[in-house]
Amino acid sequence: MFYVLTLGDAVMVTESNPYSLPLALWSIHEVDGTIPDLNTHAWDFQSDGFVKFGGNLSRVDFILRFTASEWEAAATSSDINIKQGMALILAAEYIDVADMRTMMLVGYCAMIGLILDSRVAEILA
């Protein structure tokens, strides 16, 4: 069991019993199970439960959606937009494939010929 404490838009998650703390203004929700990955799940105030958001993948899982030749083409590209996108991907722990910036980067890879047009949907699925 774990506890979710909410106050307005603020959310705290703890495994420690919060009832003895001075949290009069906070709502306390008791949740069975284990705390979900907070990088891929968010508290849904309407359902009072966690929901998976976006299309978050680990950086490794996202990179593995590209073939070796596609990734090499992007990694060695001299295009400044691709260089920036690659730097952002390598710096991120998670990649949201439903994020407009991710969709634009993958689409741009197809536009400049680094990947086939048909691969855009596969990579973003």
pLDDT tens sequence across 75-103: 999 999 999 999 999 999 889 888 889 99
pLDDT tens sequence across 6-60: 998 889 999 999 988 888 889 999 999 999 888 778 888 888 888 777 678 899 9
Residue 35 and residue 66 in one domain: no
Within its chain, how far is the Cα of 73 from the centroid?
Answer: 24
Q: Which domain holds residue 14?
A: 2-52
**What confidence score (pLDDT) does residue 54 get?**
63
Angle between the N-to-C axes of helices 100-111 and 117-124, in degrees from 0 to 180, rounded to the nearest 10:
160
DSSP class per residue in 62-113: HHTTS-HHHHHHHHT---HHHHHHHHHHHH-SEEETTSHHHHHHHHHHHHTT
**What confidence score (pLDDT) does residue 86 get?**
96
Residue 47 and residue 68 in one domain: no
Residue 113 and residue 84 in one domain: yes
**What confidence score (pLDDT) does residue 42 get?**
83
